[in-house]
């Protein structure tokens, strides 16, 4: 994390706040306002009650995510697919190099960390950027995943494990054996670990192998102090512990990624056995539902849908899930009448949690710009015959009132055989214009 922040700072993509800020609401409020006006990350050097600084807004820009996985000229979906295939070829164990690197580490308590409180009704301070690392108790396959963790005391966190997540399966297997599940929470990990943890892989696959593929070489690993796990050395803060079997305690409320509060519920208990951090560590705070939360989730989800579509429908060029992971925009090179409808049907089945609203567009439309997507739908044909409503289909798994049932799909492609009629107008030379040549070197976008 520290090396990555140095890179951002050298490019002018990092701002520093030296004024003391309160970990309760104030840091989150500043970071959220900054996201509305800039793509810069922000470091708070003085956070009340802790000696560690806090960084936020690190992954709020899609271009940075492309940089992490080294996209080059390829789309994010294409490149991540290549990295996943490479990770599968590495196999178990080929991604790690063991080392003993505790000499530059400090030990302390949870209360030494600047754990933030984000939203008005949040039940307490939450670790939101923590990557949980655990091994399946039977197969030994490691897993990286994100889960919110509410601080109760120096010895206890309460953790929400979604029922569809791999870590929930790991915990259930350990619980059936009557044993706790040992796990480590990695905070301020290297970008390749953060990106790998966003990706949902098959049960037999390892996100650690994916992180190694993204990094371009083996991960340096070090043994934990109190549990039987090795963790990546490129994590600045490590919280060791175990998820207790057959214990559930109240957790919440919490402001979740969809923009609403999840009310108090009985969730898992994480017993903390050790807290350590590298000298000079920076704590990564993340606002759930903000751009920093959604951009990585959207990108990883889009890549999963892209891979599913490519195996079923010809001419699929790219997929985006911006501006919310609940929608999917598909770009195709249209090849036959009804091609758009095929792409929409395949997309709706590609990820049953999130594809609530799907749109398919031609290759001349920017799928990361909803203004362009809506323009294509309203200008390229009839609204009534190009809209598809699929009723009574379950959606997001945590949905007791069926608010996410049903699907809406829109075909925003040009009518087949009328491509020339719908060719977009353009002004020659527009792309090459540098406004500073005409408005002066001091000009900046307003």
Q: Does domain 312-415 have CATH number 3.90.1720.10?
A: no
> Among 233, 194, 207, which residue's Cα sits nearest to residue 135?
207
Q: Whole-prediction pTM value?
A: 0.90
Strand partners, 184: 133, 240
- CB 178, CB 230: distance < 8 Å: no
Q: What 3-state class would DSSP assign to 209?
A: helix
> Among 167, 148, 163, 153, which residue's Cα sits nearest to residue 262?
148
**pLDDT number for residue 411:** 96
Number of DSSP helices (H) and strands (E) in the chain, helices first: 11, 23
Show the low-confidence residues of the chain (pLDDT under 70). Answer: 91-94, 99-103, 397-399, 445-446
Count of residues for the chain?
446
- CB 51, CB 279: distance < 8 Å: no
Strand partners, 156: 153, 271
The gap from C-alpha 95 to its chain's centroid, in whole angstroms, comes to 22
**pLDDT number for residue 93:** 60
Question: CATH homologous superfamily of domain 2-291?
Answer: Electron Transport, Fmn-binding Protein; Chain A (2.30.110.10)
- Strands (E) across 141-193 are located at 142-146, 149-153, 156-159, 181-189
* Half-sphere exposure at residue 51, Cβ-oriented, CA atoms within 13 angstroms: 9
Q: Where are the domains of the chain?
A: 2-291, 312-415
Residue bearing tokens 């601080």: 151
Strand order in the sheet with 230-232: 96-99, 219-223, 230-232
- CB 243, CB 183: distance < 8 Å: yes
pLDDT digits (tens, 9 = 90+) for 89-107: 876 666 777 766 556 889 9
Q: How far is 72 from 94, CA to CA, in rounded Å?
A: 26
- Residue 7 sits at φ, ψ, to 5 deg, of -65, -45
Q: How far is 56 from 69, CA to CA, in rounded Å?
A: 20
Q: How far is 50 from 26, CA to CA, in rounded Å?
A: 15
């Amino acid at each position: 994390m520290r090396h990555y922040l140095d890179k951002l700072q050298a490019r002018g993509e990092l701002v520093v706040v030296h004024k003391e800020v309160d970990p309760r609401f104030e840091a989150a409020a500043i970071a959220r306002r900054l996201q509305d006006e800039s793509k810069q990350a922000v470091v708070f050097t003085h956070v009340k009650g802790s000696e560690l600084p806090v960084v936020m807004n690190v992954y709020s820009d899609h271009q940075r995510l492309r940089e992490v996985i080294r996209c080059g000229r390829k789309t994010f979906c294409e490149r991540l697919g290549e990295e996943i295939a490479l990770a599968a070829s590495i196999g178990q164990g080929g991604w790690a190099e063991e080392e003993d690197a505790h000499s530059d580490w400090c030990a302390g308590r949870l209360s030494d960390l600047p754990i933030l409180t984000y939203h008005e009704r949040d039940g307490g301070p939450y670790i939101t950027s923590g990557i949980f690392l655990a091994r399946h108790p039977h197969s030994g396959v490691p897993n990286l995943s994100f889960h919110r963790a509410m601080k109760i005391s120096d010895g206890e966190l309460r953790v929400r494990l979604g029922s569809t997540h791999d870590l929930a399966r790991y915990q259930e297997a350990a619980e059936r054996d009557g044993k706790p599940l040992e796990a480590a929470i990695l905070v301020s990990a290297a970008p390749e670990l953060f990106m790998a943890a966003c990706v949902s892989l098959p049960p037999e696959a390892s996100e650690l192998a994916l992180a190694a593929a993204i990094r371009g070489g083996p991960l340096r690993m070090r043994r934990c102090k109190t549990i039987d796990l090795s963790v990546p050395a490129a994590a600045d803060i490590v919280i060791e512990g175990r998820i207790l079997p057959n214990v559930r305690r109240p957790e919440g409320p919490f402001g979740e990624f969809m923009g609403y509060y999840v009310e108090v519920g009985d969730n898992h208990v994480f017993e903390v056995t050790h807290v350590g951090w590298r000298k000079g560590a920076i704590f990564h705070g993340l606002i759930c539902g903000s751009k920093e939360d959604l951009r990585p989730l959207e990108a990883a989800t889009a890549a999963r849908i892209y891979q599913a579509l490519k195996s079923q429908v010809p001419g699929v060029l790219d997929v985006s899930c911006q501006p919310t992971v609940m929608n999917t925009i598909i770009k195709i090179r249209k090849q036959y009448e009804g091609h758009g409808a095929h792409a929409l049907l395949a997309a709706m089945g590609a990820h049953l949690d999130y594809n609530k609203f799907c749109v398919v567009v031609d290759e001349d439309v920017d799928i990361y710009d909803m203004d362009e997507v809506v323009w294509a739908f309203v200008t390229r044909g009839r609204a009534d015959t190009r809209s598809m409503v699929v009723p009574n289909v379950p959606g997001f798994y945590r949905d007791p009132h069926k608010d996410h049932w049903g699907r809406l799909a829109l075909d925003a492609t040009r009518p087949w055989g009328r491509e020339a009629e719908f060719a977009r107008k353009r002004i020659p030379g527009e792309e090459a214009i540098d406004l500073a040549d005409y408005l002066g070197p001091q000009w900046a976008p307003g």
